[in-house]
């Protein structure tokens, strides 16, 4: 069993399972803040998936996409925090 | 040898991400969920990116992976603090078994009746004083 098989048949399913669990919280989250936190964690899991996938396909170019995805996650969290705080003010 | 390092790092990274996912599903409170998100998931993704750096073994890719880890370590606490602060302002309830709340009566208008005016003043002072001052004028 090579490293690629291990990554492909064990690590990626575990990451997919965790994405599924986070998505359940994203659906049932009682408040908007819960959904924002779940979205942040979902994108972080996506960064991990992209990293594993770049090992399997042997293409390090995917890491650039992971960096941009992290940037977008941070911007989304900041924007939603600003929006939540602003919504109460009115 | 590199194979064992990759398997070790990827396994622990995946385990920590799975623990974060179980935590965000099972934790009873928004703030505990934020705590899970910002600690366990960051450690897991950091381990997986270290695994990528160990696999390729070139200077440029190692630098790139370390840059992503540094960026995650920088932005995860800031984002968690922002979203936690904003959701405390909109009176997101704590867990009913929470022992103490240090900010009680300092920010929220409705939680403490006696010191409501003081807390109003503190809101305008602490929290973006410029905007609220302009709207009041």
Model confidence band, residue B136 (pLDDT cutoffs 50, 70, 90): very low
Q: How far is the first Cα of chain A from the last one, in angstroms, to the nearest whole number?
A: 60
**Residue A55 contacts B where some CB pair is shorter than 8 Å:** yes
CA distance B51 to chain A (A): 9
| Domain spans of chain B, in order of start | 2-99, 100-137
Residue B107 confidence (pLDDT): 66
| Tokens at B81, concatenated | 């603090």
Residue in A60, A63, A80 closest to B83 by CB? A80
pLDDT digits (tens, 9 = 90+) for B56-114: 989 999 999 999 999 999 999 999 999 988 888 887 788 888 888 777 777 655 544 33
pTM confidence score: 0.81
Q: Shortest CB distance from A63 goes to which of B30, B42, B68?
A: B68
Cα-based distances in Å from A11 to A5, A16, B10: 9, 9, 7
Contacts of A55 (CB under 8 A, 6+ apart): A3, A4, A7, B6, B51, B52, B55
Interface touch A3/B42, C-beta < 8 Å: no
For residue range A26-63, list pLDDT tens digits in order.
999 788 889 999 999 999 999 999 999 999 999 999 99
Q: Please report, for residues A90, B97, B118, B119, the alpha-carbon distance to residue B112 in angstroms, rounded to integers and kept in the order given.
A: 21, 19, 10, 9
Which CATH code, of 1.10.10, 1.10.30, 3.40.1350, 1.10.287, is assigned to B2-99?
A: 1.10.287
Q: ipTM of this predicted complex?
A: 0.91
Q: Residue B69 has which token pair?
A: 């880890």
């Amino acid at each position: 069993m090579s490293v690629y098989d291990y990554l492909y048949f064990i690590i990626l399913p575990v990451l997919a399972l965790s994405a599924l669990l986070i998505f359940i919280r994203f659906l049932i989250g009682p408040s908007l803040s819960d959904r924002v936190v779940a979205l942040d964690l979902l994108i972080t899991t996506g960064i991990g998936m992209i990293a594993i996938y770049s090992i399997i396909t042997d293409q390090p170019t995917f890491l650039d996409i992971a960096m941009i995805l992290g940037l977008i996650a941070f911007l989304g969290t900041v924007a939603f925090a600003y929006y939540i705080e602003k919504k109460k003010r009115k | 040898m590199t194979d064992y390092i990759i398997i070790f790092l990827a396994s622990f990274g995946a385990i920590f991400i799975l623990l974060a996912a179980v935590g965000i599903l099972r934790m009873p409170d928004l703030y505990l969920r934020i705590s899970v998100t910002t600690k366990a998931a960051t450690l897991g993704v950091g381990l997986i990116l270290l695994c990528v750096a160990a696999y390729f073994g070139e200077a440029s890719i190692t630098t790139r992976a370390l840059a992503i880890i540094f960026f995650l370590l920088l932005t995860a606490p800031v984002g968690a603090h922002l979203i936690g602060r904003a959701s405390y302002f909109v009176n997101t309830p704590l867990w009913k078994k929470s022992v103490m709340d240090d900010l009680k009566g300092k920010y929220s208008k409705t939680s403490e009746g006696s010191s409501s005016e003081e807390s109003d003043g503190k809101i305008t002072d602490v929290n973006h004083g410029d905007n609220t001052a302009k709207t009041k004028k």
